[in-house]
Structure 1
Amino acid sequence: MEKPWKLIMIVAIFVTLLTATYAIESPLFSVIHSESEFEIRVYRDSTWMSAPVNHLSFHQATKLGFHRLFQYIQGANLNFSRIPMTKPVLTSIVPGAGPLHSSAYFVRFYLPEKFQATPPLPLPELNLKPVSWPSHCVAVRKFPGHARDGNVVTEAEKLATSLGKSPWANSTSADRKYAYSIAQYDSPFRIFGRVNEVWVNVDGSEEDNCMSSSGKATY
């Protein structure tokens, strides 16, 4: 396990990167539907670097996974490439019997456009893997404050409740490999104006407004 001062150093650099004046890249999307409790987005094809983490705590898993991803973007890859910071940092929860309804996590880093087609290969000891996502539909709920063990499940349940009352009630993706993901856009030390999101995949495509045939019949 990493020494506390090392993790503090990583977090401090994370703060610097996220508050820098240059534009920080994010995955591209279009909004299909928007209301007070959630919105439906279509994300374009994208490639992420993924860090698997086995831990009971969402917060600790995110910190540990990002630590490995940070080493990767600082040059711990076979090309010795330094990769600019992007946002959000995305933590996907694998369904299970743990205290947060999880068994494991995947912490993901969105690769900048320059590296989307050919990501630098990470050093083997980091246990990272590039993941390519095709264009897909996502239901998104925003929430403020810090994303912690005590609130991520509550926010995911609120999104599920909102979807259950919407035309997307039966359109939750059949791919249950990941129950939901938490997107974090701000440094850990930012206090006001923080933005986090819960993401849940839904069926359909941009052409059919992200609704499967079963979802279209549910109003």
Structure 2
Amino acid sequence: MEKAWKLMVVIWVTVYLVTVTMASESPKYSVIHSESDFEIRVYKESTWMSAPVDHLSFRQATKLGFHRLFQYIQGANLNSSRIPMTKPVLTSIVPEAGPLHSSAYLVNFYLPLKFQGTPPLPLPELDLKPISWPSHCVAVRKFSGFAGDSNVVTEADKLATSLGRSPWANSALADSKYVYSIAQYSSPFQIFGRVNEVWVNVDGSESDNCMSSGMATY
């Protein structure tokens, strides 16, 4: 029994590594403004599959949520459809929604273009739901290494500091239920050259270069 379980783990890990490595599709965006430590992007409207997770740990929540999403893309949906892996895996932090007013998380999978209009319905026991995002502006900070409980808050604080010295100071959307999101682009087995990002939604639209009314421009 133990050998069979270990074999299943090896197979799952191998498939995960291959799918992440071969992933090619990502949400479409345009860069409106770029500096050395952050940039402002406009993301096109998109549809994601989302896994809500109540957990005290960002890292463990991401693992638990992605495990359910991985089952979904491997065929655990009402169409039995196999869905190609995409990048990034995006974990959104929902403040005070978890146990004892701790943070809760939404782990999000970007659906490939083929499935954007009509996502296959997940099996009910996976507790997943599709979410559609309109075109919106996002402030982004890149960072390397592994994204974990010890550094994601620090990286988010660095982005907030950078925004505070820019025309986007105080422009984070007040009505957003997410404080920030962490985008992970690399396989968990990749040691060097890892790519992560902190995302924060900001006010404005593509037509005004993501600048809300009354804000200074460069």
Q: Judging changes above 3 Å, is the alpha-carbon distance between structure 1 residues 106 and 98 closer, same or farther for their aligned structure 2 residues? A: closer
TM-score by length of 2: 0.91
Q: Which residue number corresponds to residue 82 of structure 1?
A: 82
Separation in 2, partners of 1:6, 1:125: 21
**How far off is 1:171 after superposition?**
1.4
Relative to structure 1, the CA distance from residue 102 to residue 202 in structure 2 (aligned partners, 3 Å threshold; closer, same or farther) is: farther
Separation in structure 2 between the aligned mates of residue 8 and residue 170 of structure 1, nearest angstrom:
47
Question: Cα 1:157–1:9, aligned 2, differ >3 Å: closer, same or farther?
Answer: farther
Instruction: Report percent identity of matched pairs.
Output: 78
In the TM superposition, residue 207 of structure 1 has moved relative to its aligned partner by 0.8
1:8-27 alignment runs, 5 A limit = 10-20=12-22, 24-27=24-27
Moved more, 193-202 or 102-111: 102-111
Equivalence for 1:138: 138
Task: Identify unmatched segments of 5+ residues in structure 2.
Answer: none
Aligned to 1:119: 119
CA contact (8 A) 2:176 2:201 kept: no
2:171 aligns with: 171
- CA distance in structure 2 between the partners assigned to 1:9 and 1:169 by the alignment: 47
Q: CA deviation at 1:156?
A: 0.2
Change (3 A) 1:104 1:25: same
Distance 1:7 1:104 in 2: 27
Q: Tell me the C-alpha RMSD between the 2 structures.
A: 2.2
Query: 1:93–1:102: 8 Å Cα contact kept in structure 2?
Result: no
TM-superposition CA deviations, 1:119-149 (whole Å, max 9, x none): 0000000000000000000000000000000
Give unmatched runs, 5+ long, in structure 1.
none
Distance in 1 separating the partners of 2:48 and 2:97: 27
| Paired residues, number | 213
Q: TM-score, normalised by structure 1?
A: 0.91
Q: Describe the superposition over 1:87-142 as per-residue Cα deviations: whole angstroms up to 9, x where unpaired.
A: 0000000112879x952000000000000000000000000000000000000000
1:38 and 1:139 in contact (8 A); partners too: yes
- Quick one: structure 1 residues 107 and 147, their matched pair in 2 at CA, closer, same or farther if it must change by over 3 Å? same
Task: Tell me how far apart the structure 2 counterparts of residues 55 and 6 of structure 1 sit (CA, whole Å).
Answer: 25
- Give the SS at the match of 2:172: coil
> Shift in Å at residue 13 of structure 1?
2.4
Quickly say closer, same or farther: Cα 1:34–1:218, change in 2 above 3 A: closer
Q: Residue 110 of structure 1 aligns with which residue?
A: 110
